[in-house]
Amino acid sequence: MGQATLAFRNLLVRVAIFVVLAAILAWFFNGTIFGKHTVNFPAITWDGREWAAQVIGNGTRPDEVRWSLLSKLGEEPWTVVPISKTGQWRKLVGPNVDDQGLWIKVAENVSTDAPELKWTLIRFMQSGSEPSKTPVASMPLPSAQ
């Protein structure tokens, strides 16, 4: 009985050390054991630049999912287009191009304690110009059933 207890205790100590070292390594590289996934959606070309939407999140909680609009010229790296205070939204539709230019539709929380989303249409007439922002609608998030 004494040998089995020692073996079990040894196993528990090894598992605890492994979990602690894994958490430290994950924190060093990404900040969490369950890392965030980054997905760049297919790019479109408009006004000589490439434009794409990017989603970042780990898929466990919807409030941790963030969207960004990316842009690049030629072979340079992708950069986040600074068109909001955070540069990130809860939901994003687009980017799309029509006869008036490039547009995306984004949703942000109305406030930190309200689940209501405020949709805004953001339109670029030229890639170097300031975008115009038009409020579209506010709607509550659907309740989970």
Give pLDDT tens digits for 66-108. 788 888 888 888 888 877 655 557 777 878 888 888 888 888 7
User: For residue 61, is it within any domain?
Assistant: yes
Identify the pLDDT of residue 61: 59
As a whole number of angstroms, the longest Cα–Cα distance in the chain is 80
Is residue 44 located within the same domain as residue 26? no
Identify the pLDDT of residue 8: 93
| Model pTM above 0.85 | no
Identify the pLDDT of residue 144: 43
Is residue 15 located within the same domain as residue 62? no
Compute the mean pLDDT over every residue in the chain, rounded to the nearest whole number.
77
* Rounded average pLDDT over 130-140: 68
Q: Name the token pair of 93.
A: 């539709």
pLDDT higher than threshold 50 for residue 38: yes
What is the domain count for the chain? 2
Q: Which domain holds residue 8?
A: 1-33
32/12: higher pLDDT: 12
Identify the pLDDT of residue 135: 74
Percent of all residues in the chain with a pLDDT value above 70, rounded to a whole number: 69
Identify the pLDDT of residue 92: 79
User: For residue 129, is it within any domain?
Assistant: yes
Is residue 18 located within the same domain as residue 62? no
Is residue 76 located within the same domain as residue 13? no
